[in-house]
């Protein structure tokens, strides 16, 4: 009889402890969800801010406004206020209206002068590639963005062609043969963006046996087709070579990333480029 009473009492105690544990876990999960939804103040460009403008001047001129956004949607390097240490720093590139102000966009005057107001991270080089509007994520890519770079290329004797019209839309055509899209660079930093000058040229034609360009190549920013978007990326020398290669002999495509985006080389397949 005593053993039965002890067993029942132990079962009741375990049930109480289990319920308490579940309730504690749910409470913590709710707290984390609420913390992620809590608004935080960040600085956003009120209007277009020219490259070389100091953060302090931009704030004084009313070119920056404070907005409250959910904490989960704010990048970790977003600037929340202009401190004395940040006030003297200048913008490394032009910031469009509505763009979040990110810490990598601010550099010293000496750095801006040395690179023509383009802040290149230490040990990196800057490479510009031309893209049509869809391939540049519909113009959502901005200075300070993180992007993944993909490439589409033929595996057999076939061709790929691309042109950008006045509105930046791409037109593609391909011959017979296998066409593959692979990731080339899983995550790189965008230094600057811009629009190519009107040239009225056509795009690039790529073949499996090499690259052949009809007219002026889309890979040359100076002769990029009208409507093309120019995206400047910070990369190592090896990755600069890969970017130049796929721009000359393939069709590059960007994907916009967040801090939680997961990118990497395709599993089970040999990467397009070996590191």
Q: What are the pLDDT digits (tens) for 131-168?
A: 988 899 988 888 778 899 999 887 766 566 666 765 55
Q: How many residues does the chain have?
A: 275
Q: Which residues of the chain have pLDDT under 50?
A: 33-34, 171, 173, 200-223, 225, 274-275
Domain ranges of the chain: 39-114, 125-257
Torsion of CA 222, 104, 150, 160, to 10 degrees: -10
Q: Strand runs (DSSP E) across 200-239, as ranges?
A: 204-207, 210-212, 229-235
Kindly state the percentage of the chain with pLDDT values over 90.
17
Q: What are the pLDDT digits (tens) for 181-222?
A: 889 999 998 888 887 665 544 344 334 333 333 333 333 444
Distance CA 143, CA 94 (A): 8
Q: What would the CATH number be for the domain defined by 39-114?
A: 3.90.1210.10
Ramachandran angles phi, psi of 171, nearest 5°: -125, 125
Query: 160-170: string of b/e by CB count within 10 Å (b at 16+)?
Result: bbbbbeeebeb
The 3-state DSSP composition of the chain as helix, strand, coil percent (nearest 5) reads 30, 30, 40
Please report the DSSP string for 185-206 in residue order.
EEEEEEEEEEEPPP-----EEE
Q: What is the pTM of this model?
A: 0.54
Contact predicate 130/143, CB 8 Å: no
């Amino acid at each position: 009889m005593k053993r039965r009473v002890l067993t029942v009492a132990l079962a009741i105690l375990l049930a109480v402890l289990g319920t308490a544990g579940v309730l504690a876990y749910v409470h913590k999960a709710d707290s984390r969800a609420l913390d992620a939804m809590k608004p935080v103040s960040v600085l956003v460009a009120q209007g277009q801010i020219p490259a070389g403008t100091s953060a302090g001047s931009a704030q004084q001129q009313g070119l920056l406004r404070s907005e409250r956004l959910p904490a989960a949607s704010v990048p970790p390097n977003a600037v929340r206020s202009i401190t004395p240490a940040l006030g003297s720093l200048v913008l490394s590139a032009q910031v469009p209206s509505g763009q979040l102000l990110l810490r990598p966009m601010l550099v010293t005057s000496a750095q801006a002068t040395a690179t023509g107001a383009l802040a290149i991270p230490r040990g990196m080089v800057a490479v510009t590639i031309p893209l049509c509007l869809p391939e540049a994520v519909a113009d959502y890519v901005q200075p300070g963005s993180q992007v993944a770079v993909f490439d589409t290329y033929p595996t057999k004797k076939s061709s790929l062609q691309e042109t950008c019209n006045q509105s930046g839309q791409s037109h593609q055509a391909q011959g017979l043969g296998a066409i593959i899209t692979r990731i080339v660079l899983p995550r790189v930093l965008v230094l600057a963006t811009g629009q190519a000058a009107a040239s009225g040229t056509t795009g690039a034609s790529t073949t499996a046996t090499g690259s052949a360009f009809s007219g002026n190549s889309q890979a040359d920013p100076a002769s990029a087709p009208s409507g093309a978007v120019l995206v400047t990326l910070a990369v190592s020398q090896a990755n600069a070579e890969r970017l130049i290669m796929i721009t000359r002999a393939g069709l590059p495509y960007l994907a916009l990333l967040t801090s939680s985006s997961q990118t990497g080389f395709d599993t089970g397949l040999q990467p397009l480029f070996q590191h």
